[in-house]
Amino acid sequence: MNLTTGESSDEFFGGAVPPAVRDLLHQAARAAPAGRSALLWSAQAIAPPCLAVYYALYKHHAGRREFELAERAAWRGLQEAAAQAGLDDDWRRVQPPLTADVRASRAGRFWLFTLKALAFIHLRTDRPAQAQALLETLQACDPQAGNGSEVTAALLAAARPPR
């Protein structure tokens, strides 16, 4: 089940999911929000390379306005995606634009999407300068903007007071 839409689904953003983790993700989808966190963090502990778990974690925590936990999960997911995509582990040192192969890979797409998620989290926690830096890197790495960053950029522009 999709944690955000409630629709029945057995596919996970971020790629393949080991059976034990799949079971935990399905349990989390059925769990009350208060119990979901422990199931998701357990899944992350079982399979740290599984990108889908990081997505579920940061979506869950952001949805509950637990932005510190959402950010922690997103940073961990970003680092794991960078390792899998062959990118520098420091997002600020990644040389844009990314090659088409990296942008098309699951880990590369996840890395780009998670940069956007981090920008959104930083925006929601009143850190617009950091959100801007993340968006600039995202836009430089994926100039075709196939990642939806324009929505977060518009929110950032709207949040800034007029000069």
Q: What is the pLDDT of residues 3-62, one digit of tens each?
A: 445 554 455 666 678 999 999 999 999 999 889 999 999 999 999 999 999 999 999 999
Neighbours of 42 (CB within 10 A): 15
Q: Which of 19-23, 72-76, 101-105, 130-134 comes out lowest in average pLDDT?
A: 101-105
Once rounded to an integer, what is the mean pLDDT over residues 125-145?
Answer: 89
Residue 118 has pLDDT above 90, yes or no: yes
Residue 59 backbone phi and psi in degrees, to 5: -70, -45
Give the span between the Cα atoms of 36 and 34, in whole angstroms. Answer: 6
Contact 21, 46 (CB under 8 A): yes
Annotation: CATH topology of 19-159: 1.25.40
* Cα 45 to Cα 48, 84, 113, distances in angstroms: 6, 18, 22
| Mean per-residue pLDDT over the chain, rounded | 87
pLDDT at 8: 45
Q: What is the DSSP letter of 31?
A: S
Residue 160 pLDDT grade (very low, low, confident, very high; cuts 50, 70, 90): low
Residue bearing the bigger pLDDT, 145 or 89: 89
Give the span between the Cα atoms of 145 and 138, in whole angstroms. Answer: 8
Using CA atoms of 39, 80, 15, 71 in order, give the dihedral in degrees to the nearest 10: 50
Q: At what angle do helices 51-63 and 67-85 cross, to 10 degrees?
A: 160
pLDDT at 142: 86
* Cα 89 to Cα 77, 81, 105, distances in angstroms: 11, 9, 17
* Cα 114 to Cα 31, 52, 54, 123, 149, distances in angstroms: 25, 11, 9, 14, 11
Residue 110 has pLDDT above 50, yes or no: yes
pLDDT at 61: 96
pLDDT at 9: 47
pLDDT at 42: 96
Residue 153 pLDDT grade (very low, low, confident, very high; cuts 50, 70, 90): low
Contact 66, 86 (CB under 8 A): no
pLDDT at 143: 83
